[in-house]
Structure 1
């Protein structure tokens, strides 16, 4: 069996898959019926609709013919097919990183807005290099130094999305525990707190903290990321990192649930100005 990994699905491939699923549902055809009428293998069709495989052009044309796609739809989806393997961000060393992480990086690079709640860590897009290194070493105690540095490099390079010509809009909410936990020592944490204060001044970044004194809140169940994209046709996405593995959620029910949760967290958290003041006290405390 080959050890070669497939590239993770791009946002374009995900959108193409979603559009094909929608077109098939609109003509009320099962996958078996599509196979019978087009000759497209059932497994192939499943992989196309799950954004696992990129359809060949003739396969896509056969599906569009069967579904009665309009000329505008045909043009749009053929354009998506031709660019569906383009990665918004993926470095040559991506094959050495976990597959779910490289997929996440690709989605993040093409997103318009990222809403990130973190209960235990500073969000990756806001981490300093020294904090990132200390976190990775602590979370992955058996990782080699080479692997640690590779992950640090990937995390820091991801942050370019905040300074590109049309920067990503980041709204990050953190539990106060994330900035109080002594990761890497006082000096590292003081540097990290200062960096967060600087980031908070950027127009594309909104930071909020949930004080420990607030007690229980909806985010205590765990961290998550909600993304949306510049093209309204591209489905929103929720990413959840769990002990059982990383999850990418796309159903409308799950999207609504996490959007509602984020709105509750916005209401519970300090406003951005008060959050920066709290970060200032954290920074002063770490410098003592």
Structure 2
């Protein structure tokens, strides 16, 4: 029997590193300042902040003292450091969400560009609330109403990255099947397609459709998200939502493979303008 694939430790490390960078910035300190006040080697601090090294507990406690972290932050970051299964830093807001999903939300919030290919669904950042509700209910048939409501709320909150002062760059590609499937019925789909048309008109959003007429293509193996970040020192990330669980891929070979796949899908799909024309035709058929 094959061993269960371990949870990538870099997921927790990146979450910890991101929070430590934010705390240091909030304290108005440079790395040189931290070294002077704590004695922590500047190279060591750099490696910790870039998720290249896990800090020892005493090192982390020293940083939290210096940054005047509050009790919640201390509890969450010490849990991340220890590698325990306790709730992560986003859980106070979405206490029932899986750990991997909270990690994804954190990465998405920090991302500069999100490239999302979906074969059957509208990308989460572009979903209306009514569409999201129908998708989540269907995908989690055993979930309670409370769990479904939390998932929908989290999905709607995620979309704030598109309307903040410096929005992320979103590039979405979908198979035409995502537009044709009657999720929630004609009314829900009509509003969803109209929302896509409005969203795609924004300068930081690009949307493409792979029409049925293109036949087989590389994206038929499944959906994925590729992210990069404003700081060039932050490695790129690929996220896969699979029936076996959420996966984060970070090796250079995996990143290259999915970047190449996305470029292939860009070439196969209709251009942004032609995609908008197809969206408009789909919307008209639902009148």
- TM-score, structure 1 normalization: 0.73
In the aligned structure 1, how far is the partner of 2:268 from the partner of 2:185?
29
Aligned to 2:106: 106
Q: 2:126·2:159 contact (CA, 8 Å) conserved in 1? A: yes
1:161-184 C-alpha deviation (Å, 9 max, x unpaired)? 001111110000000001111000
CA 137–15 in structure 1, closer or farther in 2 if over 3 Å, else same? closer
In the aligned structure 1, how far is the partner of 2:239 from the partner of 2:263?
17
Q: 2:115·2:226 contact (CA, 8 Å) conserved in 1? A: yes
In the aligned structure 2, how far is the partner of 1:212 from the partner of 1:133?
26
1:1-288 correspondence runs (5 A) = 9=12, 11=14, 13=16, 54-56=55-57, 58=59, 85=77, 90=90, 92-287=92-287
Q: 1:114·1:170 contact (CA, 8 Å) conserved in 2? A: yes
In the aligned structure 1, how far is the partner of 2:12 from the partner of 2:185?
38
Aligned-pair CA distance for 1:56: 3.5
In the aligned structure 1, how far is the partner of 2:251 from the partner of 2:61?
24
Q: 1:9·1:52 contact (CA, 8 Å) conserved in 2? A: no
CA 157–216 in structure 1, closer or farther in 2 if over 3 Å, else same? same
In the aligned structure 2, how far is the partner of 1:274 from the partner of 1:14?
42
1:217-242 C-alpha deviation (Å, 9 max, x unpaired)? 00000000000000000110000111
In the alignment of these two chains, the number of paired residues is 232
Structure 2 unaligned regions, length at least 5 = 1-10, 20-48, 68-72, 81-88
Q: 1:123·1:172 contact (CA, 8 Å) conserved in 2? A: yes
SS at match of 1:265: helix
SS at match of 1:9: helix
Q: 2:193·2:279 contact (CA, 8 Å) conserved in 1? A: yes
CA 186–57 in structure 1, closer or farther in 2 if over 3 Å, else same? same
Aligned-pair CA distance for 1:144: 1.1
1:87-117 C-alpha deviation (Å, 9 max, x unpaired)? xx93633221011111100000000000000
1:239-268 C-alpha deviation (Å, 9 max, x unpaired)? 011111110000000000000000000000
- TM-score, structure 2 normalization: 0.73
Structure 1 unaligned regions, length at least 5 = 1-7, 17-47, 62-77
In the aligned structure 2, how far is the partner of 1:165 from the partner of 1:265?
30
CA 139–280 in structure 1, closer or farther in 2 if over 3 Å, else same? same
